[in-house]
């Protein structure tokens, strides 16, 4: 009866949406961490897709930059691929190896990784709001004993929110420039960037960069 009254007043809708967001965040976490980030297949398996990759190469990239063989797994690396020593594979359009998900972020799971960060940020902001609304401040030891768990939870949520927000903003900025974290951090060591006339030969404008990444 009480539940029915709360449901009629719409008081159960917000907790239900919050639980669904948390569940969605957990499912996205496992999906991103377990899926193939874009591992480079053996040479005989990538021949069919080589022509497609060459058609996607931006003209500003020097034509004398050829696919090179990886010194670790001995496969031919497509442009923008890099070997991850933690995963023991070369990853297409390698961005970084994320310790949170224990997996690389690459061509196949990068868009889903952004979705995961976005959902996680919403959950953290909502959880922070709930924790803050439950705090009422008093200068007494008694108050601290009764609210220490809620206070610590709120501080942890604030820290994680800042980390996720910075990570999401930095990734969106790099995506809008059509570059990866690895390319941004190691520009001077990457042959196809070091020998290019442009600082970023893959940049085709913010709108087209975002469209190609997400769509």
Total count of domains within the chain: 1
Identify which has the larger pLDDT, 183 or 147. Answer: 183
213 and 111 in contact (C-beta within 8 Å)? yes
Helices (H) and strands (E) in the chain, counts: 8, 6
* Model pTM score: 0.81
Residue 153 lies in a domain: yes
Q: Please indicate whether residue 177 is annotated as part of the active site.
A: no
- For 188-214, the pLDDT digits (tens) are 888 888 877 788 889 999 999 999 999
- Does residue 156 have a pLDDT over 80? yes
Residue 169 lies in a domain: yes
The domain of 209 spans: 2-37+98-214
Residue 89 lies in a domain: no
Query: In sequence order, what are the residues at sequence separation of 6 or more whose Cβ sits closer than 8 angstroms to the Cβ of residue 199?
Result: 187, 193
Lowest mean pLDDT among 1-5, 104-108, 112-116, 192-196: 1-5
Q: What is the mean pLDDT of residues 96-116?
A: 95
Pick from 119, 137, 133, 128: nearest CA to 156: 128
Highest mean pLDDT among 3-12, 53-62, 170-179, 184-193: 170-179
Residue 52 lies in a domain: no
Which residue of the set 98, 104, 177, 215 is catalytic?
98
- For 51-70, the pLDDT digits (tens) are 444 444 454 555 555 667 88
């Amino acid at each position: 009866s009480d539940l029915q009254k709360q449901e009629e007043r719409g008081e159960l809708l917000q907790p239900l949406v919050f639980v669904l967001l948390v569940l969605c965040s957990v499912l996205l976490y496992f999906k991103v961490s377990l899926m193939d980030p874009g591992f480079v297949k053996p040479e005989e398996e990538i021949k069919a897709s080589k022509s497609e990759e060459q058609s996607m190469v931006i003209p500003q990239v020097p034509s004398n930059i050829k696919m090179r063989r990886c010194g670790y797994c001995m496969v031919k690396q497509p442009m923008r691929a890099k070997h991850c020593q933690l995963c023991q594979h070369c990853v297409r359009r390698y961005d970084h190896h994320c310790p949170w998900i224990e997996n690389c972020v690459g061509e196949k799971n990068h868009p889903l990784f952004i979705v995961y960060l976005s959902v996680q940020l919403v959950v953290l902001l909502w959880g922070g709001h709930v924790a803050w609304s439950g705090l009422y401040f008093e200068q007494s030891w008694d108050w601290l004993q009764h609210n220490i768990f809620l206070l610590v939870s709120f501080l942890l949520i604030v820290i994680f929110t800042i980390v996720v927000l910075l990570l999401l903003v930095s990734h969106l900025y790099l995506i809008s420039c059509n570059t990866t974290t690895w390319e941004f951090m190691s520009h001077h060591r990457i042959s196809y960037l070091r020998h290019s006339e442009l600082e970023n030969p893959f940049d085709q404008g913010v709108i087209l960069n975002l469209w190609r990444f997400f769509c």
